[in-house]
Structure 1
Amino acid sequence: MFSCPLEHKQVVSPRVCLSFSFSVKTLIVPSFAGLGRISFIMMGWGDLGAFGEPSKETPNLDQMASEGMLFLDFYAASPLCSPSRAALLTGRLPVRNGFYTTNAHARNAYTPQDIVGGIQDSEILLPELLKKAGYTNKIIGKWHLGHRPQFHPLKHGFDEWFGSPNCHFGPYDNRALPNIPVYRDWEMVGRYYEDFKIDLKTGEANLTQIYLQEALDFISKQQASQQPFFLYWAIDATHAPVYASKHFLGTSQRGRYGDAVREIDDSVGKILKHLQKLGISENTFVFFTSDNGAALISAPKQGGSNGPFLCGKQTTFEGGMREPAIAWWPGHIPAGGVSRQLGSVMDLFTTSLSLVGLQPPSDRQIDGIDLLPAILQGKLIDRPIFYYRGNEMMAVRVGLYKAHYWTWSNSWEEYSKGIDFCPGQNVSGVTTHLQEEHSTLPLLFHLGRDPGEKYPLSFVSDEYQGVMRQISAVVQQHKETIVPGVPQLNVCDKAVMVKINGMGVCVI
């Protein structure tokens, strides 16, 4: 969240404040006083009333949408947490910043004992740039960009941190009682499940309330000191094992997952009301979105809804990467707006810099674009969306057309064990249990007519031939810009660890 004294001059001011939040969803609140992002983990496109969820259990987020702008075509940079978060804070695809895997048995997830990489010093993060413009930056919640000391968020532009290097699930040292540290700045102040209780049986935990109070206190402190700020609120209540505080447990029609969503909704409402009470809402830009689609494997009690879209987290079908997104900036964004702009979490990097009068780094490829023309003037910017998994470009969207160069839902091995990332959604020839290559004849869908990606266009149709000529040129141009970063998420094989001082150490 960003908040600062506002002297509005036309579109933007160098004193905008930003606020983001990321868990299953991300909330970014930038303003002339502050920038903020609220982000939530693994929330689906169909989890909010504003996006069609029928139980209408998200009144605060729905009101945020009615007061701001909905993005219907907004995407994560990856169908998994860590790569998407790295992309959000660098404005760069995971294949460029190194947040991908190349070894065969890795799934691009992030398990500390097995993965020792993280965000590299060569990458420039959003808070590093905002700090130069006088902003105080705080992250609350899940970091997920490396658990070793050199990857600590305070070494990458943040001034304050309360949360964990990773998520609240194992295996860590013990699957039943994971050994997960919680930090305040540089000091470890406890562990999940011990000092910060999570009851795996009932789902009761007070973490969201703790994270909410951290956000409210930080905003109040920055407003009192007239200091512009950036808040990255990255809670993880909707990530399995899903949790909620006692007051919210059992209150949703959608099980424990719905309880967590209701508590998140309530928290977002309190943050926005706090900005209004302090008189800085018109100086603060807030953005809410997610780092990947809902994990359908966790359904029905711990999984969300991806609405009309195919599959979920882990896949590059629409359900794995299309996210709910809301921009809120009272007095600047026309209320009740709905945008069909193709957007990405990487755009929040470039847009935030634009809000505070800064340019993105010119010495590297930046994939995020400035969304302010779309947000403030209703302009549509022509741009493609690339769907990556690991270092492979799986698909690309140009306009309403999406071409799959590779398809994969999950492996036969996982599927035989009951792990299904597309439960009840098998589409013959589309959802595949092997990584199927379609580079010669990509599967092409018109997402306007077929948002569920069930009916690929005929290879011999004039429509297919004409559209693929355009898409092929876009893909060729894109691939010419790709210089892969050093992969950071490869699983460390303990059998080949380098021995240093008698201990096994993975070396990247």
Structure 2
Amino acid sequence: MLMDDMGWGDLGVFGEPNRETVNLDQLAKEGMIFPSFYSANPLCSPSRAALLSGRLPIRNGFYTSNDHARNAYTPQEIMGGIPDYEILLPEILKEAGYRNKIIGKWHLGQQRQYHPLKHGFHEWFGSPNCHFGPYDNKVTPNIPVYKDAEMAGRFFQDFLIDTQSGESNLTQLYIQEALTFLEAQASSGAPFFLYWAVDATHEPLYASKPFLGRSRRGMYGDAVMELDYGVGKIINKLLELGVAENTLVFFSSDNGAATYAKTQGGSNGPFLCGKETTFEGGMREPTIAWWPSVIKPGQVSHQIGSLMDLYTTLLKLAGRQPPADRVVDGIDLTEVLLKNTEVERPLFYYRGNELMAVRLGDYKAHLWTWTNSLQEFNKGIDFCPGENIENVTTHAQVNNTMQPLLFHIGRDPGEKYVIRPNTMEYKQNIGLLMAAVQEHRKHLVPGIPQLNMCDRAVMNWSPPGCEKLGQCYQAPSTNPQKCSWPH
């Protein structure tokens, strides 16, 4: 279960004061929580590419080299997508006899060669893009929603989102798709992989009518409450079907909460900044594992984890090995889940083509700092609202590699208090962190950047199946050019 822009502090179990996530809090009580679990990137597309490939975006190509340290993703006009040479998790599970379904947001390329059914999934209900719009289908086409290989309609046309009230039935559709899939798989007896990638907590926010106005947190809280309801329905279905004790459920988010959205975004708890940044708020995720009779209830794991670890862990549980011909960044968490052990590993924080920071144990070193440019900040785009830490939340890209900024993020999770370079603590720890960086860079072979080129001609003008719905539109002439990534 992968949420979209949901922050570490959005769940009751992680301290959200309104305690409105009753099902997720119960899931945590019955399973294991990971307070130090991370995405592989502070933005949606690269994070999702890393989850499904087990590899950092710098390796799998989900980055841009158009400019230094820029976040990039897959909007409608992107020409790239997940490369064929990446071997995705569902591809290997498919070979192992699993039936695979993705529900919700794909975001790894919108042209048909990049679609989920080309990369190991048997079924799909959702969209290649986020639910932006509405558009006019002349300058910009509305974004399609797919049922398997063909579109079933478009956002704001066939799949309605009321831009005034936020009302939409999309989450209910995503819940029902999950329940129907689980019933079919339980009936067949075949193993399954369900990737529930819902996106109601990404702007523009939406929730179905029964949930509108229910939360004390406003529209964002309404969306969270409905997703929590969906988690409860899915868990109850697993129990009802008698397959819960043979099913690992893993809940997390693709990146930190969009703090720039202010009250329309989530909470990153005690952590600094949010989505788009490599501070803790941008990449530390609310994470729960649940597996009745296998994972002991009520546990807290202090393992430093990554969404990339799901690749290696799920393959191990399915009796398969990761490809041996490439570097896989995810580690096997099987023993962590079963015995609550810990494995020391460095964690690398990338923004675009730049390694911004590294964590080892409780220490984190910033090689570069940057929130966003002063020009963008002056337009009202603030990735760290209410959080100004001198020489840390910089609006210029500051190169600290000669003397990295060091933090102990156990006692200082908000990255507020820099450990001074003249202290013994700094001298004893910075060398270990930089050695990890040196070892990482020694074996790094960047992938071909997929997020450099854009062309309006490749937008969702005539997706597969559009002719059956009378929704094929005229594309402009092709005009490839470098994408602009201001952040």
Q: Is the 8 A contact 2:68 2:353 kept in 1?
A: no
- Give the alignment partner of residue 119 of structure 2, picking from 143, 156, 160: 156
Give the C-alpha shift of residue 129 in structure 1: 0.1
The answer for the alignment partner of 1:482 in structure 2 is: 444
Match of 1:504 in 2: 479
Question: Is residue 138 of structure 1 aligned with residue 113 of structure 2?
Answer: no
Q: Which residue of 2 aligns with 1:466?
A: 428
Q: 2:410 aligned with 1:410, yes or no?
A: no
In 2, the alpha carbon distance for the partners of 1:67 and 1:436 equals 44
| Partner residue, 1:31 | none
Residue 3 of structure 1 corresponds to which residue in structure 2? none
Q: 1:457 aligns with which of 419, 427, 432?
A: 419
Deviation of 1:169 after TM superposition, in Å, equals 1.4
In 1, the alpha carbon distance for the partners of 2:477 and 2:179 equals 47
Q: By how many angstroms is 1:39 displaced?
A: 0.5
Which of these residues, 285, 290, 293, is aligned with residue 328 of structure 1?
A: 290
- Asked if 1:56 is matched to 2:11, the reply is no
| Contact 1:178/1:192, CA 8 A, preserved across alignment | no
Q: 2:279 is matched by which residue type in structure 1?
A: F
Q: Deviations over 1:170-211 (max 9, x none)?
A: 487679996100111111110000100000111000000000
Query: Partners of 1:395 and 1:77 in 2: how far apart?
Result: 12
State the partner residue of 1:251: 214
CA contact (8 A) 1:60 1:268 kept: yes
The secondary structure found in structure 2 opposite 1:395 is strand
Please tell me whether the aligned partners of residues 76 and 129 of structure 2 are also in contact (alpha carbons under 8 angstroms): no
Q: Determine the C-alpha separation between the residues in 2 that align with 1:174 and 1:59.
A: 41
Aligned to 1:289, which of 252, 271, 296? 252
Q: Give the secondary structure class of the aligned counterpart of 1:109.
A: coil
Give the corresponding residue for 1:308: 270
Do the aligned partners of 2:455 and 2:478 also contact (CA within 8 Å) in 1?
no
**Aligned counterparts of 2:174 and 2:356: Cα–Cα separation in 1:** 36
Which segment is superposed worse, 154-163 or 486-495? 486-495
| 1:46 maps to amino acid | G
1:492, distance to aligned residue in structure 2 (A): 2.5
Whether the aligned pair in 1 keeps the contact of 2:70 and 2:353 (CA below 8 Å) is no
How far 1:502 sits from its partner (Å)? Answer: 5.8
2:229 corresponds to 1:263: no
What's the counterpart of residue 277 of structure 1?
A: 240
Q: How do 1:102-501 residues align onto structure 2 when only pairs under 5 Å count?
A: 102-104=65-67, 107-170=70-133, 179-300=142-263, 302-492=264-454
Note if contact 1:333-1:376 (Cα within 8 Å) is conserved in structure 2: yes
In terms of fraction of residues, the more strand-rich structure is: 1
Match of 1:6 in 2: none
Residues 1:337 and 1:359: Cα distance change in structure 2 (over 3 Å): same
**CA positional deviation for 1:503:** 3.2
- Percent identical: 65
For 2:478 and 2:183, how far apart are their aligned partners in 1? 46
Structure 1 CA distance, aligned partners of 2:417 and 2:102?
42
One-letter amino acid of the counterpart of residue 190, structure 2: Q
Alignment partners' CA distance in 1, 2:285 and 2:434: 26
Counterparts of 2:178 and 2:477, CA distance in 1: 43
Query: How big is each residue's C-alpha offset from its partner over 1:410-450, in whole Å with a ceiling of 9 and x where there is no partner?
Result: 11111001110100001011001111110000000001111
> For residues 31 and 448 of structure 2, what CA distance do their matches in structure 1 show?
39
- Unaligned stretches of 5+ in structure 1? 1-37
Q: TM-score scaled to structure 1, two decimals?
A: 0.89
**Whole-angstrom distance in 2 between the partners of 1:259 and 1:161:** 26
Q: Is 1:91 equivalent to 2:45 in the alignment?
A: no
In 1, Cα distance between equivalents of 2:205 and 2:425 = 44
Report the Cα distance in structure 2 between the residues aligned to 1:107 and 1:458, rounded to whole angstroms.
29
Partner SS for 1:150: helix
2:45 aligns to what SS in structure 1? helix
What are the superposed Cα offsets for residues 186-241 of structure 1, whole Å, 9 maximum, x if unpaired? Answer: 11110000100000111000000000000000000011111110000001000001
Match in the other structure for 1:20: none
Query: Match of 1:208, SS?
Result: helix
CA distance in 1, matches of 2:281, 2:251: 18
- Measure how far apart 1:258 and its partner are: 0.2
| Letter paired with 2:478 | M
Q: 1:206 to 1:175 in 2, by over 3 A?
A: farther
Is the partner of 2:479 in helix, strand or coil? Answer: strand
Match for residue 101 of structure 1? 64
For 1:28, the equivalent position in structure 2 comes to none
In the comparison of the two structures, how many residue pairs are matched?
A: 466
Separation of aligned partners in 1, 2:136 and 2:69: 19
Question: Structure 2 CA distance, aligned partners of 1:174 and 1:389?
Answer: 33
CA distance in 1, matches of 2:168, 2:140: 14
Displacement after TM superposition at 1:123 (Å)? 0.2
The residue identity in structure 2 corresponding to 1:461 is T
Unaligned runs of 5+ in 2: 458-474
